[in-house]
Amino acid sequence: MRVDEETVTLRERQMSSLRGARAALIVVDVQRSFADPAYLVDYGLQPSASVAVASAVKNTSALVEAARAANVPVAWVGLGTDPATPWRASVWFRTGDHNTPYGPDEPCVLDTPGAEWYGLTPAADEIQVTKRGYSGFLGTGLEAALRRDDIDWVAVAGLTSDCCVAATATDAFQLGWPVLLPTDATAAYDVAVNEAALTQLALNVAVTTTVEELVDRW
């Protein structure tokens, strides 16, 4: 019982410490290649995972609208794959040969429909960065933009919990920002994988929350 009481007290302290601090919402990879059911056919999602992805997109969109209403800055992080400069490590990991060119099904190729936002749209004055790998902070101007806006803590939402959301949340944490992760505004392509990812992030990176609680915090 004592352990449970200490855990509750810690979470209360964590959440209380954010009161009055300046927040930002980071939206990760809610793009057609990762969110549009027409693009996910080859992933072989189970029905439960398809429902979870659709729900995450809907809830992330609701978060964006709530952030705007609360004057919370929204930062958009999207993958932009450049066929002229393949990500050698990723190609090697998936094919065993780092010299293999990108195939026709490569996600989020620049200037193609797969790279478009899905179910939500950035406003013209909101932060937008294009990444080449998993983390929204790697090789982008995201860190500088958040520091310029005097952001004290961040919430990270989008797709997927086990990959780019995890990498972006982890880097935000390592760069000094407390991280909140709304578990109903993220998903993976396998329900068990999503649960494992959220468990890992909660252990080492983020305080897990819900869309409703996050909006109340703003």
Q: Which residues form the catalytic set? A: 164
Q: For residues 94 and 103, is the Cβ–Cβ distance under 8 A?
A: no
DSSP-derived 3-state class of residue 151: coil
79 in Cβ contact with 39 (< 8 Å):
no
Rg (CA), the chain: 17
Cα separation of 11 and 39, whole Å?
Answer: 38
Q: Would you call the peptide bond into 160 cis, given omega within 30 degrees of 0 as the criterion?
A: yes
Residues 165/158, Cβ–Cβ less than 8 Å: yes
Nearest to 142 by CA among 81, 76, 65, 67: 76
Q: Distance (Å, rounded) from C-alpha 27 to C-alpha 161? A: 12
Question: Coil, strand or helix: which one is 10?
Answer: helix
Largest CA distance in the chain: 58
